[in-house]
Structure 1
């Protein structure tokens, strides 16, 4: 029974960010077809931030009408919209229309907005729903959330997204000499399967998440895990971390033990300064991982070659669920420890940002050491901050339902701030410069 609920919680987490993550890993193929070209990521950034309207409305509803918003109905709605949007994307992603005299990917932008609305709103609905389950399942949910980025990344690698090679090309020098000039240029290899197939795969992942949510809503009745028993069990779990020592007893015993625990084990107390620090961690970690660094990953990795870029993207996706798994067995809720870990992760992120700023000629370019360091830096950046995300979520989960709602709101605020900060730096002021790996010459 416990294993089944763990599997369902993980599968439910798959639907949290699968659509947006899937779009990002598929970009190397999409930009070669759509008229916006490599300006497309900047459009996606704006669209995703506009989709924060969803979590904003949910948060306002929780504040204005406490207890009236039925989260399970919202989750049913957004997951259904996610499935439908992925299917529509498979059919219409490359359809364009003329807007202001120029060809624009109108269908792609509209569908992407609804996909982003689904993923952004999941931050303030999925976690509060997990409040109804014993505390040990929330970490499993975070593993599923991490897999929502890892699985599309693996599929994209199997698809051969963005794999390129340097080929020679010649150009006639002129009529008088009749000679030719040889140069290298980048040629992208055809993918192993189409973009449409990839989007149908995303739709299947959304269906799995929806089915898992339906099961989580019905199975507790059969397993005596109804809300009546879950709420006291949640209180009991506060004094024992993520463990649930009464899980193997019958429902009445669990209820009696929980009532006694409720009198002797109050909810954890944090001072105003500690709460401020916790929410600061939420904002900063999400700003770094969802806004600041993703905007410059190509600039920091591509100068080292396609292999470095794909390894950093794939291993960074692996780091998230691995960090969540570690948090399941090795929990450290010390705010000092989490602060040190955040500082360490920020250091790795700073190195990545510095290499992006130095593009197209970062440190140790063209060497195995440079490629290894940049891949490890992205891996450790994602892993350390993912662990902080999980532990902060567990701390706030044990505090109250509203604390989790505001945790999701703080996460979206951080993501918004990070993205809005990077958009003008990348697209307006052009502080980051891309280079052709096959042609860029850097001083020794």
Structure 2
């Protein structure tokens, strides 16, 4: 039964961000087909954050009308919307509409909004639901959440998203060099299977998540632990290092005592880690800043950061960076570290990689080491380590707050969405109004040697 719950928790986590993650890994192909071009990611970040209306309503519901039943109804609803939206996206993703004399991907934007509504709302519904299960399953859930990016990334690699070559004016293949003749241009090779098939695959993944949630709600009552009754698994969580290590001392102190002292033992094990006001402020500030960077600031300029190195670099960045999330969750499962000093230092390391990515975007279309294998490898690795370090921080912060209380985890989701909103709203005018970032064709752009 324990293995079954692990599998279901992982499958349930697939539906958390699969739709939005799927859009990001498919962008190397989509940006070459829709009229917004390289600016498309900045539009998507704003649309995704507009969908924060969902989390705000759910957070308000938790305050005014608390109860696990309402939470389950919300999850059923948003997963169903996700399945339908993925199907509609497969049909209407390339439909354009003329607005004020210019073509826009209006249908794509509307459907993306509903997909984002599903994924953003999952932050304040899926994790709180998981607190009804023993503590060990929340890491499995996060692993499934990581797979929601990893699996679409692997499928995108098999699809051959956006692979391109340079050809001259006579349509013969040119050399892959920078500063070549101005008649050279980019020719994008067709993918191994269509965008429509890819979005249909996302619909299947959302359906798997919905089925897993149904199964979790059908489990025997002995496994449906309420948020006030987490005692059966707490001892195991302590031994695994995911809970307050000082609780083991409490267990020894009361061992062999009477029934009354046995109750004290249970309460000691269940006690949430004591966090001061300043520590809580640090944790929530960290949540806001990390999510602002990972969900708003950096994604808005990923095209400008990677495309100058060629479509292959962008393709590998989008697909392989998604691997870093489940890897970070796996590391957190076996090597958890609750130290706030460590998490702060790891966040600073991630900020260093993020700063490099942002600097390359600012230098577009002529970033450092352009036209070299080293430059391409460096930009891919920088995005990979940026995603990995920040993902580990997210997981450990959620585990810390999960052990504190149900409401702490709810507000963790709300803080993550607030950070994402601030990051995306800040970047949109910089990209689309002030045009601080410049695009270019990697085959024809002339850069200083």
Q: Which residue of 1 aligns with 2:277?
A: 272
* Contact 1:143/1:324 (<8 A) preserved: yes
User: Residue 280 of structure 1: CA displacement?
Assistant: 0.9
Q: 1:350 to 1:104 in 2, by over 3 A?
A: closer
Residue aligned with 2:114, SS: helix
User: Residue 198 of structure 1: CA displacement?
Assistant: 0.9
Matched, 1:232 2:231: yes
Which has the higher mean CA deviation after the structures are superposed, 136-145 or 359-368? 359-368
Q: 1:234 to 1:412 in 2, by over 3 A?
A: farther
* Contact 1:236/1:258 (<8 A) preserved: no
Matched, 1:41 2:45: no
User: Residue 183 of structure 1: CA displacement?
Assistant: 1.5
Matched, 1:382 2:380: no
Q: Which residue of 1 aligns with 2:165?
A: 165
| Number of residues of Structure 1 aligned to a counterpart in Structure 2 | 424
Q: Which residue of 1 aligns with 2:92?
A: 92
Q: Which residue of 1 aligns with 2:266?
A: 262
| Structure 1: gaps spanning 5 or more residues | 172-180, 246-254
Q: 1:106 to 1:442 in 2, by over 3 A?
A: closer
Distance 2:261 2:428 in 1: 53
User: Residue 89 of structure 1: CA displacement?
Assistant: 1.6
User: Residue 102 of structure 1: CA displacement?
Assistant: 4.7
Q: 1:258 to 1:103 in 2, by over 3 A?
A: farther
Distance 1:257 1:140 in 2: 33
Residue aligned with 2:448, SS: coil
Distance 1:99 1:314 in 2: 33
Distance 1:332 1:258 in 2: 29
User: Residue 189 of structure 1: CA displacement?
Assistant: 0.8
TM-score calculated relative to the size of structure 1: 0.89
Which has the higher mean CA deviation after the structures are superposed, 203-212 or 182-191? 182-191
* Contact 1:282/1:414 (<8 A) preserved: yes
Q: Which residue of 2 aligns with 1:61?
A: 61
Q: 1:85 to 1:129 in 2, by over 3 A?
A: same
Within a 5 Å distance, the mapping from 1:147-186 to structure 2 comes to: 147-170=147-170, 183-186=183-186
* Contact 1:133/1:230 (<8 A) preserved: no
Residue aligned with 1:169, SS: coil
Distance 2:442 2:35 in 1: 23
Distance 2:352 2:71 in 1: 38
Distance 2:444 2:410 in 1: 49
CA root-mean-square deviation: 2.5
- Deviation digits for residues 300-335 of structure 1, max 9, x if unmatched? 222222232222222211111000000000011000
Distance 2:273 2:71 in 1: 25
Matched, 1:425 2:430: yes
Larger relative contact order (Cα-Cα within 8 Å, sequence gap ≥ 6): 2
Q: 1:182 to 1:292 in 2, by over 3 A?
A: closer
Matched, 1:329 2:334: yes
Distance 1:372 1:98 in 2: 40
Within a 5 Å distance, the mapping from 1:22-41 to structure 2 comes to: 22-41=22-41
* Contact 2:321/2:383 (<8 A) preserved: yes
Q: 1:182 to 1:114 in 2, by over 3 A?
A: closer
| Structure 2: gaps spanning 5 or more residues | 172-180, 248-258
Matched, 1:361 2:360: no
Within a 5 Å distance, the mapping from 1:182-201 to structure 2 comes to: 183-201=183-201
Matched, 1:439 2:438: no
Distance 1:274 1:80 in 2: 38
TM-score calculated relative to the size of structure 2: 0.88
Distance 1:212 1:258 in 2: 36
